[in-house]
Chains A and B, each alone.
Chain A
Amino acid sequence: AQSVTQLDSQVPVFEEAPVELRCNYSSSVSVYLFWYVQYPNQGLQLLLKYLSGSTLVKGINGFEAEFNKSQTSFHLRKPSVHISDTAEYFCAVSDLWGAQKLVFGQGTRLTINP
């Protein structure tokens, strides 16, 4: 079984500042890793995913994440945030085989202040 821990429930940041949202996972098997964003009263939008290959993954809206197998982490970063990045961010994992069920972290509320 897998589990995901997002270490920060809320992250306030000033506009144009860099941000890092932390995600650690636990799994006895190899996994796929995902970051999703959820705007208020909406479903989830895929930001980026790690399947294999390069450990630095670039996604939409200027976000990127780095897979670190030894630290079992998949932290999300953006060098300069905008007001429009205010949203809830979810880290998720699924195993490589079986039913591709996603296990989500608790979410991190990113608030961008002007």
Chain B
Amino acid sequence: GAVVSQHPSWVICKSGTSVKIECRSLDFQATTMFWYRQFPKQSLMLMATSNEGSKATYEQGVEKDKFLINHASLTLSTLTVTSAHPEDSSFYICSASLGQGQETQYFGPGTRLLVL
């Protein structure tokens, strides 16, 4: 149980285009989802926390207009990288939890984004 999927697993795009990444909880309802970014050989950095039906909470230094997060249902959250640039190339990982009081996060397999 507690499986989280991400789609796509790999994406290559041209500079200036937008890319949407989906995160789905397959066998549970995720009240809260988290989006992380991981640069090569580095740790995960939390970008934002999203709760179903409300606006995402972004970490300091993360541009909310560039990284649009939508958590429209209890099983789906999307991250859209708008007007992507080469410096946005990274490994994006989502996680999901059952919400307040549920301490364990279940991670997706990640999406590797390469912006040319």
Contact = CB atoms under 8 A, between A and B. Distances in A.
Interface string B2-14: 0010100000000
Contact of B43 (A49, A96, A105): A105
B77 interface: no
Contacts, number: 54
Contact of A102 (B34, B100, B109): B34
A45 B106 CA distance: 8
Given A43-B107, A46-B106, A100-B97, A107 B43 contact: yes
A45 B97 contact: no
Nearest to B38: A38
Given A43-B93, A99-B57, A100-B97, A51 B103 contact: yes
A36 interface: yes
Interface in A71-114: 90, 94, 96, 99-107
Interface in B62-116: 93, 95, 97, 100, 102-110, 112
17 contacts: A43-B6, A43-B110, A44-B93, A44-B95, A44-B107, A46-B104, A46-B106, A51-B103, A90-B43, A90-B44, A101-B49, A102-B46, A102-B105, A103-B46, A104-B44, A105-B43, A106-B42
